[in-house]
Structure 1
Amino acid sequence: MSHNLIIFLNAHQICHKLDITGAYAKIGYFEREADLIFQDEVHGNLFEQVEGTIDLLFTKYIKAIISYDGIHRNETYEYPKEVVREALLNAIAHKDYSGSTPIQIRVYPDKLMIWNEGHLPENWTVGNLLKSHSSRPYNPDIANSFFRSGYVESWGRGISKMTELCLAGGLPEPSYVVEGSDFWVIFKKDIYNTEYLESLGLNGRQVKAVLFAKEGKITNSDYQTLNSISKRTATTELTELSSKFKILIKTGTSGSSIFYKIVGQ
């Protein structure tokens, strides 16, 4: 038996042995915070939980945008699969299994949230996670099993990797919330697309302006040029986007120094 095969079998043995209350994943789809529409649970050993959870998320919970390149069908998911997989692996490797609550994945129309009960290393804050750091998993045996099986790296790059993949996919950076033993990873999808903006009641000019601002910012002059309209109309409609729809935020004090950016960017 080869050395690599022995390592792989040992890794599987560690993850198969984990038979603890709460050692499973729970998925729910919410229209709003209090409106649970449907839910599922994924049980089995940790490898089966990873594969089963990802398969269920991307067949039932997360939509794919269909496009065609000639006769070839392309599917672009709302969230990159590699990002969600990395977050799930992190949740499993860092979960405090002394608690009895499963990993929870909440899917909303505009975001996806992954929760696990866990703790940051002593004296760490979220700031430590967002900068270069060493790999310090809460459950080193589980993390090592995933590493030996080729599921993860062992360099503490999970956070930066998720950020890179989200930005490459045109999504906002993930956010992280740590409150006591609650650890949340939150992904927001790009809701600023034509269909969504029109559903809010924006007119065609305003939709074009928001899509333009996604690339960085938009000024009153940009709005006028983009839509071939007067300064007065541009001012009125930009004011609506910031005060009524609360999609853009106004920056600057007067004249050419004023510009608008997408809220949260």
Structure 2
Amino acid sequence: MIQYTACKEFLLPLFITIDKVWDYINQPASNPLLYYNDGSYIFDIPSFNKEVIGEAILNVCCHRSMLIQSDVVIKQYLDSITITNAGGFPSGVDMNNILTVNSVPRSKLMSEVLQKTGLVERSGQGVEKMFYNCIMEGKALPDYSGTDSY
């Protein structure tokens, strides 16, 4: 496994942290552009998509187990980002149904706050958005294989 070259701890309110994390990830050296040719057009696509990363961060906040004291950890590698939180899939969710089941957030209050502030449209759409963006940009799909139950 590739060792990380930088470590940053964010101790700010969530609404500020989301943007700060993206600013940290979205540096030219750590989020290089990928080039896609379509006839005479060349499209520049960042390696990491802001909406995908934002949705992933919001998901770990809504679905983390508050019974386990642990930080949300984001590890950025050259070609991937891993985001982990306390607890695994919410009850009723697994690798086979992650796109079809309507999950119940572990923190209903957190989910409602994020919805009312406009950070999420409604519960149950985050994973679909991440998959959609990855498909549209021709990137690898999110990998949940390291996730366990509860």
Normalised by the length of structure 2, the TM-score is: 0.82
5+ long unaligned stretches in structure 2: 36-42
The 3 A distance-change label for structure 1 pair 173 and 36 is closer
Structure 2 counterpart of 1:243: none
**Aligned partner of 1:134: which letter?**
N
1:124 maps to what in 2?
Answer: 93
**Is it true that 1:98 corresponds to 2:67 in the alignment?**
yes
Indicate the structure with greater strand content. 1
Query: Relative to structure 1, is the Cα distance of residues 50 and 123 closer, same or farther in structure 2, using a 3 angstrom cutoff?
Result: same
Matched positions, count: 142
Give the match's secondary structure for 1:47.
helix
Secondary structure in structure 1 of the residue aligned to 2:33: strand
Q: 1:109 to 1:138 in 2, by over 3 A?
A: same
Query: 1:110 Cα deviation (Å)?
Result: 2.2
Closer, same or farther: CA 102–121 of 1 in aligned 2, 3 Å: closer
**Closer/same/farther in 2, CA of residues 36 and 121 from structure 1, 3 Å limit:** closer
Evaluate the alpha carbon distance shift between residue 156 and residue 42 of structure 1 in structure 2; reply closer, same or farther with a 3 A threshold: same
Instruction: Supply the distance in 2 between the matched residues of 1:82 and 1:39 (Cα, whole angstroms).
Output: 22
Match of 1:63? 31
Which one has the bigger helix percentage? 1
Aligned partner of residue 109 in structure 2, secondary structure: helix
Query: Is the contact between residue 62 and residue 111 of structure 2 (CA under 8 Å) also seen in structure 1?
Result: yes
CA distance in 1, matches of 2:34, 2:103: 37
Looking at both structures, which has the greater relative contact order when contacts are Cα pairs under 8 Å and sequence separation is at least 6? Answer: 2
Report the Cα offset of residue 61 of structure 1: 6.6
AA paired with 2:77?
A: Y
Task: Note the C-alpha offset of 1:129.
Answer: 1.1
Question: d(CA) in 2 for partners of 1:175 and 1:157?
Answer: 17
Q: 2:105·2:111 contact (CA, 8 Å) conserved in 1?
A: yes
Matched residue type, 1:171:
K
Counterpart check, 1:145 vs 2:141: no
Equivalent position of 1:156 in the other structure: 124
Do the aligned residues in 1 keep the contact of 2:92 with 2:103 (CA within 8 Å)? no
Contact (CA 8 Å) 1:94, 1:138: kept in 2 or not? yes
The answer on 1:78 being equivalent to 2:38 is: no
Q: Provide the residue aligned with 2:17 in structure 1.
A: 49
Which of 34, 38, 51 is the aligned partner of 2:6? 38
Structure 2 residue matching 1:79: 3-state secondary structure: coil
> What amino acid is aligned across from residue 143 of structure 2 in structure 1?
S
Residues 40 and 153 (structure 1), Cα distance of their counterparts in 2 relative to 1, 3 Å cut? same
Normalising to structure 1: TM-score of the pair?
0.49
Which of 76, 79, 83 is the matching residue for 1:110?
Answer: 79
Q: What is the percentage of aligned positions where both structures have the same residue? A: 24
Per-residue CA deviation, residues 118-148 of structure 1 (Å, 9 max, x unaligned), is 24333432222122x3241111111110100
Distance 1:114 1:155, change over 3 A: same
Give the direction of change, closer, same or farther, for the CA distance of 1:146–1:158 in structure 2 (3 Å limit): same
**Per-residue deviation, 1:60:** 6.8
Change (3 A) 1:100 1:42: same
Structure-2 residue corresponding to 1:5: none
Counterpart of 2:25 in structure 1: which amino acid? L
